[in-house]
Chains A and B, each alone.
Chain A
Amino acid sequence: MVKIPNNRAWWLVLPVFLLVAFSALVPLMTVVNYSVQDIFGPGQAYYVGTEWFKEVLTNERLQDSLMRQFLFSGAVLMIQIPLGIGIALMMPKSGMKASLVLILLAIPLLIPWNVVGTIWQIFGRGDIGLFGWALNSMGFDYNYTGDTVDAWFTVLLMDVWHWTPLVALLCYSGLRAIPEAFYQAAEIDRASKWAVFRYIQLPRLKNVLIIAVLLRFMDSFMIYTEPFVLTGGGPGSSTTFLSQTLTTMAIGQFDLGRAAAFSLIYFLIVLLISWLFFTAITHADKEK
């Protein structure tokens, strides 16, 4: 049967649409206008066509920053998703212990980004920070302000500490939603722990995992505060990610036209990837 949806309910969305128009569409249109002009100040704008886009697309500094961003987001997903699943599998199923673990896990999520950056900035220092001091005492030449590898290691570790709990909590809720009968059936079949994970838990976690991957990708792709506070983008520009490059360009150098073109490209990348994830989620729902 072909079902034709009734579209009249869309009128109820009108107030939200108007709000979004003011908060998102008007600024977006302004950014598009900026991206084709060289802006010196109010009333002093000169039309340059697609010059900024060409410049941004061929600018090596920006390409490097984009590559770093993909590398960072990729690393974040590769570490946090398996780790989050692992933690969720090990968490107690019910009772006092479960509540305690849930609270402990949620603590990093409650800390504001700039505080997370400050915590790790002090924690990682060789002179007064426990982590840096311990590593140095063990004979490692660890210095996140001077060494690229150490800086990356610290930024990644900080993000893993801050956000793996989110993945773990999502997976935990997904695991709790699996009916006990599935496990009983597996026990009757004498399924191994791995088989239970592979054929019962993992397929049932699919939907929460897609959401976890989407959330972690978006957040890590737009990361700004934590590396900015921790390393300031250094040493050199080795931990300068996209949003920091963009902010430096727009506010530091007041290069509004170029920054607008850059942010539109940034927006298109985010839009494409979000759409892919959105399609994957809705597609998975339809298959059910």
Chain B
Amino acid sequence: MLAWMNWTPSVAIFFAVIAAILAVMTVYEIVSPCTERKGFLPIATTRGDRLFIGLLSAAYIHLTFLAVSDITLLVALAVSVVWLLVLLRWG
């Protein structure tokens, strides 16, 4: 049934991780609901906002690495994860 979607392991892992992050964030939100606050970002954000900003910037970090260098994307991934954590904690 899913043959037409041409699934590959890396993309499956990618979407599984995104789904897992969303699930964890949902549980976290139920356990301890967050309120909007102002961090180093110029606008007040909720936890979900910061996650979105983090994921979107992670995409751009990966594309920038691809465009300007031949370094393995694992470096881009590490940078993105660190950036995402910084953003979620202090953003």
What is A's interface to B at a CB cutoff of 8 Å? 2-5, 7, 26, 29-30, 32-34, 36-37, 39, 42-43, 45, 47, 49-50, 53-54, 57-58, 265, 268, 271-272, 275, 279, 283, 286
Question: Nearest Cβ in chain B — how far from A283, in angstroms?
Answer: 6
Interface residues of B (CB under 8 A from A): 3-8, 10-11, 14-15, 29, 33, 35, 43-44, 52, 56, 59-60, 63, 66-67, 73
Q: Is the CB of B6 within 8 A of A4?
A: no
Contact of A42 with B4 in the complex, beta carbons under 8 Å: yes
Which of B8, B33, B44, B56 lies at the interface centre, i.e. has the most chain A CB atoms within 10 A of its CB?
A: B8
Q: How far is the CB of A83 from chain B (nearest CB, A)?
A: 31
From DSSP, what is the main secondary structure of chain B's interface residues?
Answer: helix
Main secondary structure of the interface of A (DSSP, over half): helix
Known A-B contacts A271-B56, A283-B43; the reply to A33 vs B67 at CB < 8 A is no
User: Which residue of chain A has its CB nearest to the CB of B12?
Assistant: A33
10 chain-A/chain-B pairs, Cβ below 8 angstroms: A2-B35, A26-B5, A30-B4, A33-B6, A47-B8, A58-B67, A268-B59, A268-B60, A275-B52, A279-B43
Number of A-B residue pairs at CB separation under 8 A:
57
- Please give 16 more A-B residue pairs, beta carbons under 8 A apart, in addition to A45-B6, A268-B63, A275-B56: A3-B35, A4-B33, A26-B5, A30-B5, A30-B6, A32-B11, A33-B7, A33-B11, A34-B6, A36-B8, A36-B11, A37-B8, A39-B6, A47-B8, A49-B10, A57-B67
Q: Could you tell me the distance between the alpha carbons of A3 and B73 in the complex, rounded to whole angstroms? A: 42
Is B11 in contact with A29, judged by CB distance below 8 angstroms?
yes
Give chain A nearest CB distance to B63 CB in angstroms. Answer: 6
- Complex CA gap A7/B29 in Å reads 10
Q: How far is A33 from B44 in the complex, measured between Cα atoms in Å?
A: 35
Of all chain B residues, the one with the shortest Cβ separation from A4 is: B33
Cα separation A2 to B67 with both chains bound (whole Å): 45
Q: Which residues of A contact B15 (CB under 8 A)?
A: 29, 32
Contact across chains for B14 and A57 when beta carbons are under 8 A apart: no
Contact in complex: A33, B5 (CB < 8 Å): yes
Q: In angstroms, how far is the closest chain B Cβ from the Cβ of A37?
A: 6
Contact call A33/B66, Cβ cutoff below 8 A? no
**A50/B6 in contact, CB under 8 A:** no
* Cβ–Cβ contact B8 & A57, under 8 A: no
What is the chain A residue whose CB lies nearest that of B64?
A57
Say yes or no: A32 contacts B14, CB within 8 Å.
Answer: yes
Please name all residues of chain B whose beta carbon is closer than 8 Å to the beta carbon of A54 when the two chains form the complex: 66-67
Give min CB distance, A269 to chain B, whole Å.
Answer: 10
Chain B residue with Cβ nearest A35:
B11
Distance between B79 CB and nearest chain A CB, rounded to angstroms:
16
